[in-house]
Amino acid sequence: MDTSQLKQELVQLLGKDKVLTQDLDLMYYSYDSSFLTKLEPAPPNAVVFPKSTQDVQKVVEFAYQNRINIVPRGAGTGETGGCIAVQGGIVMDLSTWNEIIEIDVKNMQVIVSPGVIHAELNNELAKYNLFFPPDPGSSMMCTVGGMVANNASGLRAVKYWATEPYILGLEVVMPNGDVIITGGMKARCIKNVSGINLTKLMVGSEGILGIVTRIRLRCFPKPKARGIAMAVFDNLDDAPAVVMDVYQAGILPSGIEILDSSAIKAVNDFKPQIKLPDAEAILLFEVDGNPPSVEYEGQVIQEVAGRKARTVEWATEPKRMAELWEGRSVTAAASARVRPDGSRIFAGEDISVPISRVADTLRALRDLADQHGIQIVNYGHIGDGNVHTAPVINPEIPQEVEKVIKFVDEVHLLAIEMNGSTTGEHGVGAVRRAYAELEHGKAVEYMRKIKESFDPAGIMNPGKVF
């Protein structure tokens, strides 16, 4: 089918208000936050904005009959090209379908359409003293549908883990247009081991198995208190050691973040008033819960971290907590400004390694960066071994681009070498699929079999994951 006919058909199916057809407008859907699409934007053939399951179903049936690719998209904040039509086709932007369908307070769950923004959902849930715990850095703009597709997590994964455990059931439009409900058609229960767990299979499948149109997710009671501890280290190895010591002491903080010397310098250069201590590493612990337990956990962290750290400070007063956390909250912005003639890029930015190997990994990353002559800033969620590396280059100088592509490749290989993964929370998308065989071996064959049985026509987000 030629492109103009495709556009006409889509307009007939959904009406002109739900379809973008002008080439100029389609260009705006050629990028996400990945370095890949910064270098090679890939516009789709059309963009649709469904507002109901029926809308999605109509488009999918049409695409299935005509063998046209469909690429689901949330807010386009991903860093992997996952929502980009790298092999052409229709981009399905689900971000405008943003409805909180039901907050079932009695059963501690909420039903949403895929376009609901994470932060907006939590603002609503807060009215009922509830919250949806996974906490991505892009909370203000990312959609819950995107979080489901990528099994997103974030700062608080240490205690609350990722999106997957909270998803109780999904409505999915399958690649042939069938609509299924996972987790029990009528279920409102929390515990459920009935049948093969298709919910778990769908979460994190990055839109290659079907399109999620409705999400039933579990909420937790919102913690009443919070505290922050900052520990400063002269020796990098002491930072992960203290993380283990804190766990050994029976404490599970909600988040544990690390800034290494590169991040400390970047933050101090960007905002000198923050005055982070000059050190090899800084750890930030966040604990939450009831006021007495928060105080108790804070005391234990101070005592345990104090054995190896140069200094430890504990705060529960909101202003001081914000000050202690500020260094971490501006790290991304600081990374962007390390070089006036450069920019941080999102590539090789999400490796995950065992906690015991975080210090070795950080050192190896620095060595790799030196070898390739690339400046980097390292930070991340040390509590679960997720390291965010921000290479800083001038993306408009071809030689720098060439160097960083080699560097990023070695970063991914390093992650596998360290018994880790090429991605902890951002996903594979188009940018990390080359490592699938190396990372998963024969298991990739079975992933392909699952994909083929769900999507025999191969129209659902092709060119992603493996």
Query: What is the distance between the alpha carbons of residues 210 and 177, in angstroms, rounded to a whole number?
Result: 9
Contacts to another protein from residues 71-100, by CB under 8 A: 75-77, 93, 95-96, 98
Q: Reduce the DSSP state of residue 129 to 3 states and report it.
A: coil
**Is the separation of the CB atoms in 180 and 93 below 8 Å?**
no
Instruction: Give whichever of 79 and 297 is closer to another protein, judged by the CB atom.
Output: 79
Out of 12, 28, 129, 449, point to the residue binding another protein (CB under 8 A). 28
Contact residue for another protein among 345, 374, 387, 414 (CB under 8 A): 345
Asked if residue 16 binds another protein (CB under 8 A), the reply is: no
288 forms part of the interface with another protein (CB under 8 A): no
Number of residues that bind another protein (CB under 8 A): 41
Of the two residues 98 and 254, which places its CB atom closer to another protein in the complex? Answer: 98
CB 207 → another protein: shortest distance, Å? 17
Chain center to CA of 172: 21
Is the CB of 1 or the CB of 27 nearer to another protein? Answer: 27
**Residues 101-120 as x/- pattern, contact with another protein by CB under 8 A:** ----------------x-x-
Question: Under the criterion CB under 8 A, does residue 55 sit at the interface with another protein?
Answer: no
Mark the segment that binds another protein (CB under 8 A) among 18-26, 186-194, 253-261, 446-454.
Answer: 18-26
Name the residue with tokens 């400063």. 232
Question: In the range 375-434, which residues lie near another protein by CB under 8 A?
Answer: 394-396
Q: Are 80 and 34 in contact (CB under 8 A)?
A: yes
Residue 344, by phi and psi: left (phi above 0), alpha (psi -120 to 50) or beta? beta
Q: Is 126 in the site for another protein (CB under 8 A)?
A: no
140 near another protein, rule: CB under 8 A: yes
Torsion of CA 101, 51, 213, 76, to 10 degrees: -110
Q: Is 11 in the site for another protein (CB under 8 A)?
A: no
Alpha carbon distance, N-terminus to C-terminus of the chain: 27
Angle at CA of residue 207, ends 391 and 187, nearest 5°? 125
Q: How far apart are CA 147 and CA 149, in angstroms?
A: 6
At 145, the amino acid letter reads G
Question: Reduced to 3 states, what is the DSSP secondary structure of residue 73?
Answer: strand
| Minimum gap (Å) between residue 387 Cβ and another protein | 18
The smaller minimum CB distance to another protein, of residues 27 and 126, is found at: 27
CB 259 within 8 A of CB 331: yes
Establish if 333 lies at the interface with another protein (CB under 8 A). yes
**With binding defined as CB under 8 A, does residue 263 bind another protein?**
no
Single out the residue of 186, 54, 48 nearest to residue 111, CA to CA.
186
Q: Which of 361, 327, 381 is nearest to 161 (CA)?
A: 381
Binding range to another protein, per CB under 8 A, among 57-65, 315-323, 334-342, 415-423: 334-342
| Amino acid making up residue 281 | A
- Enumerate binding residues for another protein (CB under 8 A): 20, 22, 24-25, 27-29, 31-33, 37-38, 41, 49, 75-77, 93, 95-96, 98, 117, 119, 138, 140-142, 332-333, 336-337, 340-346, 394-396
